[in-house]
């Protein structure tokens, strides 16, 4: 089989580097054709030296950028639409990955989507782009990869319920009164996953689960009232699917992104990979589950309500969350302020129009400005 060309958008981030580890073991099946990064020129240089892509881009120019690299946000779209690329791994953090996803789908590419904000902001526009161009959207998030594997091509009407698991983050057992004053170091101390700073904070607030509920709604065409979240501290069961006859299927695996990355590349097929750790049910036991403490983690409810509301509300939620997380990481906002800033933005801007890409970009910009003013 001729190796499939791969473009990685966000190759220097946590998902991008994970994808390259997987691809290094699968050189007979895949070849890296394009790499892009935000601003980490030194790591990008080392990746380019190892994988020899035909296209390299940086969103923000750095002092160690190579003169031959494409510079600026347009490099994402350029990498995603190349003729020698079959699959685009979109691991860009935040709203910046939206245009590249739409362009790749319109160009008929498979998009292995780790950028959940794309579907949150513009789910209907993204799915319409896939229909227009014949592209294919395959999730990389472990939760949605699990759902995809469990549904296994069965029709939507056979699915009664999706149950997405959450680790509970570092504050799962904290007293409610203590959580709002948590420090950045506290919030970055995730108990089971090693991820980038933004997604780790999202895990601490449970905003990431709101994003995943909205994403699941668009990926699998399941109504919001049939998607639930349960806390599963061990992060071994990645999601459950309950069918109309009462059967429940779950996908289990060690908490590593390598398996969902590999499956997004090969779906619906599977290929051997010795690098993914073996599953040891005894070592990973016991498996426990808890209800979400919605009063302690209000970002989850705010995000799901935004998804139900539709229009620009999900884009406002996403942008407000991104800006508030940045404010928290920079010491401008407290941990408790993150949800308060999101709530304020939704109250002020949640009814904005969201039927076009331009309208969603306007909502995104307005929500960020609102949170900066809130701060």
- Looking at the domain assignment, is residue 279 inside a domain? no
Q: Coil, strand or helix: which one is 255? A: coil
Q: Are residues 129 and 245 in the same domain?
A: no
Share of the chain above pLDDT 90, in %: 87
At residue 182, the pLDDT reads 95
Q: Are residues 107 and 176 in the same domain?
A: no
- Domain boundary among the residues 116, 139, 162 is at 139
Please tell me the total count of domains within the chain. 2
- Looking at the domain assignment, is residue 314 inside a domain? no
- Looking at the domain assignment, is residue 276 inside a domain? no
Q: Are residues 126 and 149 in the same domain?
A: no
- Looking at the domain assignment, is residue 54 inside a domain? yes
Instruction: Pull the structure tokens for residue 285.
Output: 């036991």
Rounded to whole angstroms, the Cα distance separating 177 from 312 reads 32
Q: Are residues 122 and 154 in the same domain?
A: no
- Looking at the domain assignment, is residue 349 inside a domain? no
Q: Coil, strand or helix: which one is 88? A: strand
At residue 176, the pLDDT reads 96
At residue 180, the pLDDT reads 96
Q: Are residues 134 and 175 in the same domain?
A: no
Instruction: Pull the structure tokens for residue 159.
Output: 């699915």
- Looking at the domain assignment, is residue 360 inside a domain? no
- Domain boundary among the residues 113, 139, 165 is at 139
- Domain boundary among the residues 86, 121, 139 is at 139
- Looking at the domain assignment, is residue 351 inside a domain? no
What is the domain range of residue 295? 145-256+290-309
Q: Are residues 154 and 303 in the same domain?
A: yes
**Which own/partner contact pairs does 38-47 have at CB distance under 8 Å and 24+ positions apart?**
38/10, 38/12, 38/13, 38/92, 38/93, 40/12, 41/65, 41/66, 43/12, 44/11, 44/12, 47/11, 47/12, 47/20
Q: Are residues 74 and 124 in the same domain?
A: yes
Q: Are residues 160 and 297 in the same domain?
A: yes
Please name every residue paired with 230 in a beta bridge, in sequence order, or none if there are none: 165
Q: Are residues 161 and 70 in the same domain?
A: no
At residue 311, the pLDDT reads 94
Q: Are residues 211 and 95 in the same domain?
A: no
pLDDT digit string (tens) for 159-214?
999 999 999 999 999 999 999 999 999 999 887 766 778 889 999 999 999 999 99
Domain of residue 78, CATH code: 3.40.50.720
Q: Are residues 111 and 155 in the same domain?
A: no
pTM: 0.92
- Looking at the domain assignment, is residue 319 inside a domain? no
Helix (H), strand (E) at residue 285? none
At residue 232, the pLDDT reads 97
* CA-CA-CA-CA torsion sign (201, 207, 212, 215): negative
Q: Are residues 52 and 153 in the same domain?
A: no
Could you tell me if 103 and 80 are in contact, meaning their C-beta atoms sit under 8 angstroms apart?
yes
Average pLDDT across each block of 10 residues of the chain; the chain has 375 residues. List them in order.
93 95 96 96 96 97 90 96 98 84 97 89 92 96 96 94 95 96 93 79 95 95 97 96 98 91 96 88 95 97 97 96 96 97 98 92 96 96
């Amino acid at each position: 089989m001729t190796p499939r060309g791969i473009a990685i958008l966000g190759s220097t981030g946590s998902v991008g580097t994970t994808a390259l580890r997987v691809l290094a073991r699968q050189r007979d099946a895949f070849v890296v054709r394009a790499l892009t990064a935000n601003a980490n020129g030194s790591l990008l240089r080392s990746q380019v030296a190892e994988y020899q892509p035909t296209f390299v881009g940086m969103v923000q120019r750095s002092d160690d950028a190579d003169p031959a690299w494409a510079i600026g946000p347009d490099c994402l779209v350029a990498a995603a639409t190349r003729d020698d690329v079959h699959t685009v791994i979109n691991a860009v953090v935040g709203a910046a990955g939206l245009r590249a996803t739409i362009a790749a789908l319109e160009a008929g590419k498979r998009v292995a989507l780790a950028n959940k904000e794309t579907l949150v902001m513009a789910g209907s526009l993204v799915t319409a782009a896939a229909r227009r161009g014949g592209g294919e959207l395959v999730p990389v998030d472990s939760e949605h990869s699990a759902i995809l594997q469990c549904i296994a091509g069965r029709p939507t009407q056979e699915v009664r319920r999706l149950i997405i698991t959450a680790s509970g983050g570092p504050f799962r057992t904290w007293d409610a009164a203590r959580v709002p004053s948590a420090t950045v170091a506290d919030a970055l101390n995730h108990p089971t996953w090693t991820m980038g700073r933004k997604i780790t904070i999202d895990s601490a607030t449970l905003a990431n689960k709101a994003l995943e509920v909205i994403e699941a709604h668009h990926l699998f065409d399941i109504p919001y009232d049939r998607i639930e979240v349960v806390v599963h501290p061990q992060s071994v069961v990645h999601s459950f699917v309950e069918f109309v006859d009462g059967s429940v299927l779950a996908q289990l695996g060690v908490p590593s992104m390598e398996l969902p990355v590999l499956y997004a590349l090969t779906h619906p097929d599977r290929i051997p990979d010795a690098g993914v750790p073996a599953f040891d049910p005894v070592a990973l036991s016991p498996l426990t589950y808890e209800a979400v403490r919605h009063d302690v983690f209000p970002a989850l409810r705010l995000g799901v309500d935004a998804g139900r509301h539709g229009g620009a509300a999900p884009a406002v939620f996403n942008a407000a969350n991104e800006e508030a997380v940045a404010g928290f990481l920079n010491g401008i906002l407290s941990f408790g302020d993150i949800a308060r800033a999101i709530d304020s933005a939704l109250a002020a801007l949640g009814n904005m129009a969201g039927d076009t890409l331009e309208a969603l970009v306007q909502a995104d910009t307005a929500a960020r400005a609102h949170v900066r003013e809130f701060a």
